């Protein structure tokens, strides 16, 4: 299974790539993690945010591989624990399709993108910096995988 982490924003600081790469490399062949960056449009003083969201959303949906299950990472999504995420991962693996995890821009997602979600999960009620979310998601996917394989990384 390939998990495509599709995120608005590029040109991240080096610590983001290093953190993401660390957890990406820990995942085994059964689960591959790939990053897809969609450049964010400029948000000037009088920018039309709804137009920006729509255009970024179209690019984001175009980046979703055909047949992939679309999972939105959204503040209003279902809050899940790490063990619950591992059970989701088990289901995803059993389903045999790739996963597209979507991370929106500063204002979130357009309605078109939200309507494409087959699942929506929330990482936290806190507002998290988008660069950090990439690392957090990679770490949690590795942790979920480690639970499924009785790897000693996860301790309760």
Q: Which residues are annotated as a binding site for S-adenosyl-L-methionine?
A: 73, 104, 123-128
* Residue numbers belonging to the annotated binding site: 73, 104, 123-128
Cα dihedral across residues 10, 11, 14, 15: positive or negative: negative
8 A C-beta contact, residue 154 and residue 146: yes
In 39-104, at which residue ranges do the beta strands (DSSP E only) sit?
A: 69-79, 99-103
Task: Output helix, strand, coil percentages for the chain, rounded to the nearest 5.
Answer: 40, 25, 35
Tell me which residue of 130, 22, 2, 150 sits closest to 73, measured CA to CA: 130
The tokens for 143 are 């942790």
């Amino acid at each position: 299974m390939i998990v495509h982490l599709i995120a608005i924003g590029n040109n991240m600081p080096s610590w983001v790539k290093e953190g993401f790469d660390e957890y990406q490399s820990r995942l085994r062949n059964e689960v591959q993690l790939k990053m897809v960056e969609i450049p964010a449009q400029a948000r000037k003083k009088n920018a039309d945010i709804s137009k920006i969201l729509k255009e970024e959303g179209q690019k984001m949906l175009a980046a979703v591989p055909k047949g992939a299950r679309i999972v939105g990472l959204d503040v209003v999504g279902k809050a899940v624990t790490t063990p619950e995420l591992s059970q989701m991962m088990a289901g995803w693996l059993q389903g045999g399709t790739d996963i597209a995890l979507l991370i929106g821009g500063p204002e979130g997602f357009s309605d078109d993108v939200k309507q494409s979600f087959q699942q929506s999960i929330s990482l936290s009620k806190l507002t998290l910096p988008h660069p950090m979310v990439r690392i957090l998601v990679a770490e949690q996917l590795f942790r979920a995988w480690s639970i499924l394989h009785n790897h000693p990384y996860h301790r309760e």
